[in-house]
A and B are shown apart, each in its own frame.
Chain A
Amino acid sequence: MTADTATKARTPRRTGRVRTPLLYAIASVALLVMAAPFLWMALSAFKTKQDLTASPPVWIPSRWTLDNFTALLDQLDMPQYFLNSLIVAVLVTVSNLLFCSMLGYALAKLDFTGRSKVFAIVLAALMVPGNLMILPLYVLMNGLGLIDTYAGLVLPFAAGAFGVFLMRQFMLSVPDELLEAARLDGAGEWYIFWRIVIPLVKPALATLTIFTFLGSWNNFIWPLIATNDPDKYTLPVALATFANDPNRTVGGGNGMLMAGSLLVVLPVLAVFIVLQRHFTQGIATAGLK
């Protein structure tokens, strides 16, 4: 009996010892492949023109320089684009948090006639490809005079079906007894929603915040369509315009492009690294249903 358990315990440990270094080796190579483009971008942003055009390419700058960043800030109104991206992302996120949790609450905790139909609409909306709507959306926004405005950039994304779905799933786990107790004490539905339910679903709100903020920050096709005035460009649109500009000088221009890309990616990557636990958990929750 004791001998038996001893071998049982030893076998997995021994195979583990043999396999682990190999697994780390495979994982490290894969990580390097996945990260190589980022590393190249980050390093190139600090290269001189000579290093950028060197053949064969050099990975580590022979001389580190900030010239690419200063040239970029000189030629492009990066603070303005940054501000545009930030304003749009914040507005989109705040409105999604509010409206999606409101509907999520209604779907999870309020019994009302037509509830199942509303939920069916939300589920159907999850499946509709975004590209289906951009043509009439453009015509609509053009008709409303909202092209080149923050409203035009924000409104189509102000309330997403995914957010409703996510909030509903989380709110289902809030115990009904808690809400009933509050109702017995005379609390109104808005008070219950705002003071009881919302504090209990903070992890879901964190997930939705990251999803929505990143989604908006990285959104490309709609800002591309909905802006003509460079003053209203978001970072990705400005960067794409600059990347496709034939007047961009070859060597130094590429360095500026790498510097610009780094400036767009860095805030997002920082936010993601800090909050990745919520983020990955959110995806997992949405996937498992």
Chain B
Amino acid sequence: MSLTTGPAVPQAAVDKSPDSAGNSGRARRGRRSLSKHNLTGWLFSTPFLVLFGVFMLFPIVATLLMSFTDFGARNVTRPLEAEFVGLDNYTQLFQDDKFLKALFNTAYFVVVGVPATIVLGLLAAILLNNGIDRARTLFRVGFYAPVVTTIVAVAVVWRFVLDPSDGLIASLASEVGLTAPDFLGSETWAMPSLITMAVWRNLGTVMVLCIAGLQAIPAEVREAARLDGAGAWQELRGITVPLLRPTLLYATVITTIGYLNVFEEPFVMTQGGPSDSTLTVSLDMYREGFNFFHMGYASAMAYVLFVVIMGITVLQLRLLKDNTR
């Protein structure tokens, strides 16, 4: 300890001795450098850890504690006066039709949205990586641009695209004599519309990941397969997908986590309507917390979602890892 706090010159002198004595064994050198860097290591870690502790760890623990209390409108400025109610929030949650519907809607979003995003992202990557040489940047920027665009701007445009009276799809449909449904105003169509928008917005991320993965596959492997007479489909199934498995796993996990958390799309497009048909768990939590100040109840919701996300992530990692063996 005293060595690290001392001035730089004697420290350097101490450093020199084991090295000038030659390789005096890995273990001993390791132990020496361990004590040498102890204080420095912690000094370099402290700023992050302080911010992490105050703005992440504390809120995570606080959410858990809040979920066992009646913290809400009555005592919103005095959290310490909230009363402990045990598991009441949780039992109430699973009798709450609105929450169950939100849970169902979120599952719907994930079950349809994740495969669509992964498949389209992968196809876009294959297309842009193997077939396109010219204007490559244009294509990649075009496919990726929705990812980096503010959700509010996206919403403004998509509201127009989906508008039933003079929207883009409605007018295209009327040109060919069809009538487009009221996408965002219909209980059947609202969710598929939001999922389409999310897929449009997120497939660029999957695409970029897959392009990086594809470029790591040696060209000889592909050529060998082609010489053996493999068609495009066989090449995809037999080579591309198996070799991209780690990338696809990562993409699936982050997309699933993102869609389980889905908040912005329903918030800016439908506010959860019509008739709660696009109410997701995150949106329900936001509303219970910030519109109705049912902080304890909303915290319980956040934790149910957290547990679901952790469970599914672990399950995905395990399932997909086993497949590679």
A residues contacting B by CB (< 8 A) are 8, 11-12, 15, 19-20, 23-24, 26-27, 30-31, 34-38, 40-41, 44, 53, 55-57, 98-100, 102-103, 105-107, 110-115, 118, 121, 125, 127-140, 142-143, 155-156, 158-159, 161, 164, 180, 183-189, 193, 214, 217-218, 220-221, 225, 235-236, 239-240, 243, 254, 257-258, 261-262, 264-265, 268-269, 272-273, 276, 280-281, 283-285, 287-289
A residues in contact with B171, CB < 8 Å: 55-57
B55 touches A265 (CB 8 A): no
A residues in contact with B141, CB < 8 Å: 272-273, 276
Stretch at the interface among B44-52, B84-92, B110-118, B182-190: B44-52
Q: Cα distance A251–B146 when bound, in Å?
A: 26
Query: What are 29 of the A-B contact pairs (CB < 8 Å)?
Result: A12-B223, A23-B131, A23-B132, A31-B142, A31-B143, A40-B168, A56-B171, A102-B44, A110-B40, A110-B44, A111-B30, A112-B40, A118-B45, A127-B313, A130-B261, A131-B261, A135-B59, A136-B62, A136-B299, A138-B290, A140-B58, A140-B62, A188-B11, A221-B264, A240-B268, A258-B157, A287-B212, A288-B212, A288-B213
With A135-B66, A135-B302, A269-B149 as contacts: A189 and B310 at CB distance below 8 Å: no
B145 touches A111 (CB 8 A): no
Q: Is B192 an interface residue (CB 8 A)?
A: no
Interface centre among B59, B141, B309 (most CB of A within 10 A): B59
Q: Cα distance A234–B204 when bound, in Å?
A: 25
B residues in contact with A107, CB < 8 Å: 45
A residues in contact with B47, CB < 8 Å: 98-99, 102-103, 159
B226 touches A11 (CB 8 A): yes
Q: Is B94 an interface residue (CB 8 A)?
A: no
Q: Is B164 an interface residue (CB 8 A)?
A: no
B63 touches A136 (CB 8 A): yes
B residues in contact with A110, CB < 8 Å: 37, 40-41, 44
B residues in contact with A121, CB < 8 Å: 49, 52
Closest chain A residue, CB of each to CB of B295: A135
Mostly, the A contact residues are helix
Interface centre among A26, A31, A100, A187 (most CB of B within 10 A): A31
**Which residues B127-166 have CB closer than 8 A to chain A?**
127-128, 130-132, 137-146, 148-158, 160-161, 165-166
With A103-B48, A272-B141, A283-B205 as contacts: A243 and B30 at CB distance below 8 Å: no
A residues in contact with B15, CB < 8 Å: 183-184
B residues in contact with A30, CB < 8 Å: 124, 127, 143
With A56-B171, A243-B156 as contacts: A38 and B145 at CB distance below 8 Å: yes
Q: How large is the interface on B (under 10, 10 to 19, 20 to 34, 35 or more residues)?
A: 35 or more
B124 touches A265 (CB 8 A): no
Closest chain A residue, CB of each to CB of B289: A135
**Which residues B304-320 have CB closer than 8 A to chain A?**
305-306, 309-310, 313
Q: Is B27 an interface residue (CB 8 A)?
A: no
Q: Cα distance A273–B142 when bound, in Å?
A: 10
Q: Cα distance A102–B50 when bound, in Å?
A: 13
**Which residues B236-262 have CB closer than 8 A to chain A?**
246-247, 250-251, 257, 260-261
B268 touches A27 (CB 8 A): no
Q: Cα distance A265–B213 when bound, in Å?
A: 29
B170, chain A: closest CB distance, angstroms:
9
Q: Cα distance A272–B148 when bound, in Å?
A: 8
Q: Cα distance A115–B39 when bound, in Å?
A: 12
Q: A113-B38, A127-B310, A262-B153 are in contact. List 11 more A-B contacts (CB 8 A).
A: A31-B139, A35-B145, A38-B149, A40-B157, A99-B51, A134-B289, A193-B44, A254-B160, A261-B152, A264-B153, A265-B149
B143 touches A34 (CB 8 A): yes
Q: Cα distance A92–B205 when bound, in Å?
A: 23
B residues in contact with A225, CB < 8 Å: 290
B residues in contact with A189, CB < 8 Å: 37, 40, 44
Q: Is B282 an interface residue (CB 8 A)?
A: yes
Residue from A27, A100, A131, A236 within 8 A of B132 (CB atoms): A27
B45 touches A27 (CB 8 A): no
Q: Is B99 an interface residue (CB 8 A)?
A: no
With A110-B37, A135-B63, A220-B152 as contacts: A23 and B127 at CB distance below 8 Å: yes
